[in-house]
Structure 1
């Protein structure tokens, strides 16, 4: 199979979808001639024309609102928001229009729209370029939320999201764009072209939304995570001396709770890991659901490892990120109980 970076896999997913369906439209700030700030849409305008890949004004409210109208009309817009932090001006359109359109119209209209956003830190982008706001989207009934951790997943999940009849939030971890993150450093340890996770199937394929992936099987404890933190989890487990089962959620909503609970009931211990702020982060929902379904199998309290409860600290970015050491401490703690 060909090998790709996550950027290349996302671009390839656009090409495959646009070739197969003339209703797929790509729009956003600088996605056309420039090819996007991270180059995920490079070459699409040249290949498909300005009517199907075009630049928009700098107005997230207008971009998302236009996408809702296009989707209701019957098109399939794929919107790029340059950074997840920029979504806040357009959040009302997501909550009040996109997520509710099917329900408000009693099924007469749907909103087959994908909103792609780079998420998380790793580029020293400070408070307005590095946030992880996934919990804001998972709280909204009617939205689906996806976070890939490999190029192959990025392509398959994006193609599934484009085909979905309802709005999908597609969050792309910036630290994984150009190479596999080894869980320790601020740059790829090895290029995707030499890494097993860099293999991406050619042509069209999809990965079902709502299906988690067991990245590593284990018997002592379960580590539930997604996105960049999958690689941090694997780095932590390598040095922990504990047989940990690592689950990559892939999709936050719909959530594959069956895979999670089966694992936790088997191991009896669980750590939840994410980059976003701890308080009211998505890990709180995961911990509540796991406790609810696995209470009589748990041998220790469920622990969460996450970012600090503070505005994003630019100067202390790499301390803010949950790293292998923090994850190992949590695993050691649940094993003591």
Structure 2
């Protein structure tokens, strides 16, 4: 393991310079009780994993029908706990995290709090701005999801073998970090420590911009001739699969990480502009056709090289 990879127990004791990277550390005290606030795909999947591990889980949601559906699937009990739980998992959109954490702490819902929003800088800053006890809060983001939303799409193994980012603050308590680590371990994921801003730039590249590009491509199909749609195969299906996710949820995610996503798309737009010019040159069959062919081949080569880097990532 390289020097960039962290021992998360050491992280808990050395806040001034939080290292980054994956680590596998079993927390000292296992979770016994938890509250999951927000029973969508991710929240209910967390609850199913915790329940399967013997943790007593309580479910809360502003949509009571969603909490009841999650309960019917065996994810826990719809309703608040009678006493503070070991951990509250805040599974709400990024813009709502600060308010939910503040209210949950005001109610004494749990001893420790973690969110699972797919953006980190904005929620972490909002939690601090609302006067929450940030020593008992840690940001988190499991790198798993799906194009279907809601408790009906949840499953206990959603996070198996996937990275789960944790963004501890300098003041985060050891036992809060340990509670978050226990959550990650129970869910079968691999904890990775990052700074909030580094996380947001990374997911802009590997998650948020790809989702928007998938949506842009799928939008070309909305009014396409039915004959063209009948010719679609696995290629276009794979590229547009994630475009089927909840637009309102993704609008909130993209708004919370707009600058980083725009930076990625700026680079993509430059490549796209050069590629369009290369194709126009090829279509004209003029003297610039050879240069256009070289440009097009270079884009395809770079794409193949980038795809190979994903294949090199070790599996679970």
Please indicate, yes or no, whether the TM-score normalized by the shorter chain is above 0.5: no
TM-score, normalization by structure 1:
0.32
Higher strand share: 1
Higher helix share: 2
Bigger CA radius of gyration: 2
TM-score, normalization by structure 2:
0.34
